[in-house]
Structure 1
Amino acid sequence: MEEQKSNVRAVERALDILLCFTAGTDLAMTEIADRVGLHKSTVHRMLATLEDKGFITRDRVTDRYRLGMRVWELSAHLSNNDDPAIIWLPEMERLRDMLGETVSLYVRDGKERIRIQAVQSNQAVRRVAPVGVRLPLYVGASSKVLIAFADSQEREAIMADASWPSSIDAGLFREQLEDIRRNGYATSIEEREPGAAAVAAPIFNRSGRLAAALSISGPANRLTREIMKEHAPVIMNSARLMGTMLK
């Protein structure tokens, strides 16, 4: 039993090391050790094993690590037929071309939201939205959509969590969520990032369960409250269409 637990811990540690590369593509061993909270000698041994298996590659000049080709080999076998980020891409591109702003797709993962797909605006001044970024769940139009349209137990659990900022008035936030559910969309202006604005709508699967949040974002001087109100029906229509594409 003890040997089994030790093996499981080793697997968890190896996965934690790989997950470090969701926040950076080029890392030193000391950076990895700090992020996973392990001694450098332990990390060094695990990196060597991952390198032998092709999951990690080391630059012999800089002594920094990157993901190896084996990761890309695995990703190549993901089923595009079942991946919403792929299925929804044409509609996201159509929405970008229609409204002229960056289009993003978010899902909730615990206490955070993750951008799983993005189509960048073609305008000279635009908001760049890198895929894979994790963002706080308590601020931003997409975050509010992911909370507002979650089931009531999930919604209360999110707001009752110790990580929820005490500076946010729970009563006022609940009122805002009620407005979002009633209107069918959420907006934000400079809530997370100065000079940026966004409007988001929920995507529901065929069972009526929340699947993701669809948003457009751009400079606040271009995405004014009036413009976002005009865009909202278009975004909600795209979200409804995207929901019908799910199995």
Structure 2
Amino acid sequence: MTTTSTTVRAVERALEILLCFAKSPRELSLSEIAREVGLHKSTAHRLLLSLQSKGFVRRQTGSEKYILGWSVLELLGNVYLSDELTTLALPEMTKLRDETGETISLYIRSGIERIRIQAVESNEPIRNVVAIGKTYPLYVGASGKVLLAFADEAVVQEVLTREQIPSDFSRELQLQLDKIRVDGYAVSIQERDAGAAAMAAPVFGRNDECIAALSISGPVSRFTTDKMHQYVDALCTAAAWLTKMLSH
């Protein structure tokens, strides 16, 4: 094997290691990573050291397990700044923020998680603030449930299995997803964070695939149920406009 082909293979293996974390929302041990990518532990360890030196993975404090490093977030930052979706969405999100006075966010699905890729923060002194690149599970919160409701059934089943959701909650979640598909939006009150409420609607791309969730969020003291009802049309109209732009 030539030096060039050896280098290419090493790069491929390093990328395969990074992709392990896309499949799992938790930290991974060396043995788990080696088994997932089909490498000897010594080879996996060597590649992890290289990735760690560049900040793409890091060891959990007081643990032998690995998690993604901050360099991944830096790359994501460049992606969201240049991506067609976030660039196109920003003016409409700003308009929606000005109309509602609350924080507007855009989430996409990555595996069985959601990632915040764009945001226009509320101008109110008390507001819902979440970092760009922050990930959350799909089964909690309005945006997550929207992305889950319009995902393939295989994704739904993976969430139920991988998150080890109890059967009683699983049945309730399935009913919620059915309702979201009918209503065209989701509402959550203090599901993910105490004191916070949110509503979200799907954004579709080509082939009617749900590619994002557009959300409005704010403190429950201000963003009440009545307020959310008032903003349903504004939210769904903004999501429909983004769908129209992205499906052409």
- Deviation, 1:15, is 7.9
- Please name the residue that 1:174 is paired with: 174
For 2:15 and 2:156, the matched residues in 1 are separated by 34
- Please name the residue that 1:187 is paired with: 187
- Deviation, 1:167, is 6.8
CA offsets per residue over residues 55-88 of structure 1, 9 Å max, x none?
9xxxxxxxxx975xx969x949x994x6201111
For 1:75 and 1:159, the matched residues in 2 are separated by 28
| CA spacing shift, 1:242–1:169, aligned 2, 3 Å | same
CA offsets per residue over residues 93-152 of structure 1, 9 Å max, x none?
11001100000001111110111111111101101121111101110000111111224x
- Deviation, 1:242, is 0.7
TM-score (norm 2): 0.71
- Deviation, 1:154, is 3.3
For 1:44 and 1:170, the matched residues in 2 are separated by 39
| CA spacing shift, 1:12–1:190, aligned 2, 3 Å | farther
- Deviation, 1:159, is 4.3
Which secondary structure state, in structure 2, belongs to the residue aligned with residue 150 of structure 1? coil
- Please name the residue that 1:26 is paired with: none
Structure 2 unaligned runs (5+)? 22-29, 35-40, 57-68
| CA spacing shift, 1:5–1:146, aligned 2, 3 Å | farther
- Please name the residue that 1:147 is paired with: 148
For 2:102 and 2:198, the matched residues in 1 are separated by 10
For 2:218 and 2:51, the matched residues in 1 are separated by 42
For 1:158 and 1:44, the matched residues in 2 are separated by 31
**Is 2:112–2:159's contact at 8 Å kept on the other side of the alignment?**
no
- Please name the residue that 2:113 is paired with: 112
| CA spacing shift, 1:7–1:91, aligned 2, 3 Å | same
| Structure with the higher fraction of residues in helix conformation | 2
Which secondary structure state, in structure 2, belongs to the residue aligned with residue 173 of structure 1? helix
Matches within 5 A, 1:1-247: 8-9=9-10, 11-13=12-14, 42=46, 50=54, 67=71, 75=78, 80=82, 83-151=84-152, 153-166=153-166, 169-246=169-246, 247=248
TM-score (norm 1): 0.72
Q: Which runs of 4+ in 1 moved over 3 A?
A: 3-17, 36-39, 41-48
- Root mean square deviation of aligned Cα: 4.0
Letter in 2 for 1:236: C
Give the percent of matched residue pairs that are identical in Structure 1 and Structure 2: 38
Aligned residue pairs total 218
Deviates more, 1:166-175 or 1:119-128: 166-175
Letter in 1 for 2:233: P
Which secondary structure state, in structure 2, belongs to the residue aligned with residue 121 of structure 1? coil
**Is 1:127–1:219's contact at 8 Å kept on the other side of the alignment?**
yes
| CA spacing shift, 1:181–1:47, aligned 2, 3 Å | closer
**Is 2:101–2:124's contact at 8 Å kept on the other side of the alignment?**
yes
For 1:46 and 1:139, the matched residues in 2 are separated by 31
